[in-house]
Amino acid sequence: MPALLTIQGMTHYFGGLRAVSDFSYEVPKGSIYGLIGPNGSGKTTTFNLITGIYTPTQGKILFEGKDITGQKPYKIVRGGIARTFQNLRIFSSLTALDNIRIARHYSMKSSVASAVLRLPSFLKQEKKVRQESEALLDLMHLSHRSKELAKNLPYGELRRLEIARALATDPKLILLDEPAAGMNPKEVEELMNLILRIRQEFNVTVFLIEHHMKVVMGICERIKVIDFGETIAEGQPETVAKDQKVLEAYLGKRGA
């Protein structure tokens, strides 16, 4: 069975700087795959390339067998790939509920005119979006924050909110960029359970970038390690963890 996401020989230059080099990966449907590497190794750039923020200088990205290389981000999202951001890109002045509702917008089929005229079809759609969004917040244990302005939420809940927002787009594949950043051990534990749960309940494939070894070891079925944009190892977490090159990349030549 072909993989859900296939990346072939992706290379990307920013001017003269090569950020990603000959990146190839296949993420099967229903899996939880990982991408790790030291800071600045090109992980987020890889996500940016997959989601269309940049068009790769070379290479191809295939999703469900179709070539999505160079497509606009909003088209890729509508095609079934969602993502969260390393530095959180929440709609701060809007409520948690609104954050989710916006992500449900493109699935809404009501025109601007019907909104202005407050037609029954519009009201029905609004109700549907509202209910779906509230249900999602509930699933993510964020109902109590529904009316709260996002900027007032504590950090851990913000990360959950962003994941919830990504899920609101009905994705088949969700890219999580360092979801465990800044979390304490208890929160990390909860996050891991959350990721396993969403794979189950939302029938979604997970591709994540992480630094937290516990998360990587705990839930990733397969990981790829990159440094300076180049792949230095790939395989099962336990194997990769012992790889000499990986240890060198993280700890430096003397520390390995």
Partner 1 sequence: MAKLKLPKFLIAAAILYAVIEGLYKTELINGYILHIINQSLVYVILAVSLNLINGITGQFSLGHMGFAAVGAYVSGTLTTLIFKVTPTAPEGMLVFIFSIVAGGIVAAFIGFLIGFPSLRLKGDYLAIVTLGFGEIIRTIFNNIDYVGGPRGLLGIPKFSNFTVIFIAAFLTVVIIRNLIESSHGRVLLSIRENELAAELVGIDTTQYKVLAFSIGAFFAGIAGGLFAHLLQLAHPTQFGFIKSVEVLIMIYAGGVGSITGSVIAAFALTFLSEGLRIGIRFVADTTGLPIGGEWRMVIYSLLLIFIMLFRTEGLMGTKESRLIKIKEAE
Partner 2 sequence: MGSIFNAQQIVNGLQVGSIYALIALGYTMVYGIVRLINFAHGDFYMIGAYAAYGAFFAFNAIFVDQTGVLAFIVLVASMLAGGLVAMLANRLAYKPLRYKPKLSSLITAIGVSMFLEYFFSAIPSIGPSYRSFPDIIPRVEIQLGSATVSNYVIIDLLVAAVLMIGLTFLVKKTNLGKAMRAVSQDKDAARLMGIDIEKIIGFTFLIGGSFAGAAGLLAGMTYPRIFPYMGIQPGLKAFIAAVLGGIGNIPGAVLGAYIMGLAETFASAYNSLIGEGIAFAILILVLLVRPTGLLGEKVADKI
Does 152 engage in binding with partner 1 (CB under 8 A)? no
Does 110 engage in binding with partner 1 (CB under 8 A)? yes
Among 26, 64, 98, 134, binds partner 1 (CB under 8 A): 98
Using CB distances below 5 to 8 A depending on partner kind, what does residue 73 bind out of partner 2, partner 1, none? partner 1
Does 17 engage in binding with partner 1 (CB under 8 A)? no
Q: Residues binding partner 2: what is the number (CB under 8 A)?
A: 5
Does 71 engage in binding with partner 2 (CB under 8 A)? no
Using CB distances below 5 to 8 A depending on partner kind, what does residue 169 bind out of partner 2, partner 1, none? partner 1
Contact criterion met (CB below 8 Å) for 48 and 19: no
CA distance 176 to 63: 17
CA distance 207 to 204: 10
Does 66 engage in binding with partner 1 (CB under 8 A)? no
Among 2, 14, 151, 182, binds partner 2 (CB under 8 A): 14
Does 144 engage in binding with partner 1 (CB under 8 A)? no
The tokens of 66 are what? 């179709």
Does 53 engage in binding with partner 2 (CB under 8 A)? yes
Does 77 engage in binding with partner 1 (CB under 8 A)? yes
Exposure string over 168-183, b if 16+ CB within 10 A, otherwise e: bbbbbbbbbbbbbeeb
DSSP 95-119: BHHHHHHHHTGGG----HHHHHTT-
Does 15 engage in binding with partner 2 (CB under 8 A)? yes
Shorter beta-carbon distance to partner 2: residue 48 or 69: 48
First to last CA, the chain: 38
Does 166 engage in binding with partner 1 (CB under 8 A)? yes
Tell the burial category of 82 from Cβ atoms under 10 Å away from its Cβ (0-12, 13-18, 19+): buried
Using CB distances below 5 to 8 A depending on partner kind, what does residue 245 bind out of partner 2, partner 1, none? none
Q: Residues binding partner 1: what is the number (CB under 8 A)?
A: 42
CA distance 10 to 1: 22
Shorter beta-carbon distance to partner 1: residue 85 or 250: 85
CA distance 66 to 64: 6
**Helix, strand, or coil (residue 196):** helix
Q: Which stretch binds partner 1 (CB under 8 A): 32-40, 120-128, 188-196, 217-225?
A: 120-128
Q: How far is the CB of 52 from partner 2 (least distance, A)?
A: 12
Residue for token digits 């851990």? 156
